């Protein structure tokens, strides 16, 4: 029998959609992806999620959200959706572990993944000094010099975290103005372990088996320089995880799903929540809010489906 609703992704959007649809008695299935919790689970300190005045770690927040959804009957599967057929109804989802799910509605909460620099040495040295997760790998750089690439909230927040371990943290930014929020800028500027390298981009990452230096270029003068570091943490934004839906759903040039104000994609019964469509706010609390909105729309869709059948008369959102 087809599921009422299947949620793809286990970040704040997916977990909140699971909580709301579970409390609506819809017995949701959540397929979590390979890494439970999404990006927030890789964040060391979450200080701006309401209800936690002393902050909370990303993994703890994720675990609490999961427990809350489970309490009301949400089911979780640790698997990765590898193929979807949204042209038929019920929709069909197939997974890497060989499962095949039929489902009357879908919430796409697949989030986004870190953008790569795309320079020589990056792929070869990933896991050997190149990292996209300070929370996961910072510990290995005790007493060492590391670089953080980027000038946004992630770069500064994770750069500050790295000062707990590293001897020196260089923040390499392509401009001379940071994008990060003022409170993080102030903390980073006050921290004696943080040095800024302005107007510079990485040309390649050097290292024989492990990172030893970055070759940089000054964007205005073109002057090359070398920065000896043993770790490189890349925080230059994200790419939405929407490749699964290419050809079936509409997306913008960057791959963010197109939805209407009620989070409907162009296919009735398929909703998106979180960073798979949100290219503006990208906050855990916003994603959680989108998860609750999508869940409420799922409820309405399933009630209509029960009474009137699947809407074949056209798209809800074109």
Q: Binding to ligand NAP by residue 230, rule CB under 6 A?
A: no
d(CA 154, CA 272): 24
Of 228, 234, 235, which Cα lies nearest the Cα of 144? 228
Among 48, 97, 189, 243, binds ligand NAP (CB under 6 A): 48
Residue 21 or 154: which CB sits closer to ligand NAP? 154
Check: CB of residue 203 under 8 Å from CB of residue 224: yes
Check: CB of residue 171 under 8 Å from CB of residue 197: yes
Among 155, 166, 211, 293, binds ligand NAP (CB under 6 A): 155
In angstroms and rounded to an integer, the radius of gyration of the C-alpha atoms of the chain is 21
Cβ at position 214, least distance to ligand NAP in Å = 12
Catalytic residue among 133, 204, 250, 304: 133
Q: Binding to ligand NAP by residue 132, rule CB under 6 A?
A: no
* Closest-approach residue to ligand NAP (CB): 152
Cβ at position 47, least distance to ligand NAP in Å = 7
Residue 110 or 154: which CB sits closer to ligand NAP? 154
Residue 234 or 251: which CB sits closer to ligand NAP? 234
Check: CB of residue 146 under 8 Å from CB of residue 170: yes
Active site residue 199: no
Write out the binding residues for ligand NAP, residues 168-207 only, by CB under 6 A: 174-175, 179, 201
Contacts of 208 by beta carbon, 8 Å cutoff, 6+ apart: none
Active site residue 253: no
Q: Angle at the Cα of 153 (from 147 to 155), degrees rounded to 5?
A: 10
d(CA 20, CA 89): 23
Among 28, 138, 151, 231, binds ligand NAP (CB under 6 A): 151
Q: Binding to ligand NAP by residue 255, rule CB under 6 A?
A: no
Cα-to-chain-centroid distance, residue 38: 5
Q: Binding to ligand NAP by residue 287, rule CB under 6 A?
A: no
Q: Binding to ligand NAP by residue 277, rule CB under 6 A?
A: no
Any bridge partners for residue 62, and if so which? none
Cβ at position 138, least distance to ligand NAP in Å = 15
Cβ at position 266, least distance to ligand NAP in Å = 26
Q: For strand 81-85 and strand 91-95, is the pairing parallel, antiparallel, or unpaired? A: antiparallel
| Tokens representing residue 313 in the block | 């008369």
What are the φ/ψ torsions at residue 49 (nearest 5 degrees)?
Answer: -95, 120
Residue 48 or 82: which CB sits closer to ligand NAP? 48
Q: Binding to ligand NAP by residue 262, rule CB under 6 A?
A: no
Binding residues for ligand NAP, rule CB under 6 A, total 19
Active site residue 278: no
Contact code string over 78-117 relative to ligand NAP, x by CB under 6 A: ----------------------------------------
Q: Binding to ligand NAP by residue 153, rule CB under 6 A?
A: yes
Catalytic residue among 54, 79, 85, 137: 137
d(CA 137, CA 67): 27
- The residue range among 70-78, 95-103, 147-155, 288-296 that interacts with ligand NAP, by the rule CB under 6 A, is 147-155
- Tell me which residues touch ligand NAP (CB under 6 A): 48, 149-155, 157, 174-175, 179, 201, 235-238, 282-283
Q: Which residues are catalytic?
A: 133, 136-137
């Amino acid at each position: 029998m087809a599921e009422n609703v299947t949620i793809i992704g286990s970040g704040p959007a997916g977990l909140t959609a699971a909580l709301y649809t579970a409390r609506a008695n819809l017995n949701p299935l959540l397929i979590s992806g390979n890494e439970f919790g999404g990006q927030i689970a890789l964040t060391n300190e979450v200080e701006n999620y309401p209800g936690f005045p002393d902050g909370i770690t990303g993994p703890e927040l994720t675990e609490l959200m999961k427990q809350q959804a489970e309490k009301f009957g949400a089911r979780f599967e640790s698997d990765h959706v590898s193929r979807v057929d949204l042209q038929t109804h019920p929709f069909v989802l197939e997974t890497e572990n060989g499962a095949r799910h039929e489902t009357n509605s879908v919430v796409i909460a697949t989030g986004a993944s870190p953008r790569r620099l795309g320079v020589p040495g990056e792929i070869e040295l990933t896991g050997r000094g190149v990292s996209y997760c300070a929370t996961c790998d910072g510990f290995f750089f005790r007493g060492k010099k590391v670089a953080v690439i980027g000038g946004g909230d992630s770069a500064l927040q994770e750069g500050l975290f790295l000062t707990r371990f590293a001897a020196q943290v260089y923040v390499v930014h392509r401009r001379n103005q940071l994008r990060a929020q003022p409170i993080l800028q102030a903390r980073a500027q006050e921290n004696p372990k943080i040095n800024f390298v302005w107007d510079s981009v990485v040309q390649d990452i050097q290292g024989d088996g492990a990172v030893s230096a970055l070759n940089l270029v000054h964007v205005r003068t073109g002057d090359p320089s070398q920065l000896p570091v043993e770790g490189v943490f890349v925080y230059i934004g994200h790419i939405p995880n929407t490749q699964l839906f290419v050809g079936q759903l509409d997306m913008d040039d960057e791959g963010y799903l197109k939805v209407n104000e009620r989070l409907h994609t162009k296919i009735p019964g398929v909703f998106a929540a979180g960073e798979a469509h949100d290219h503006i706010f990208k906050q855990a609390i916003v994603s959680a809010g989108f998860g609750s909105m999508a869940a409420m729309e799922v409820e309405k869709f399933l009630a209509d489906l029960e009474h009137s059948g699947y809407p074949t008369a056209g798209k809800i959102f074109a």
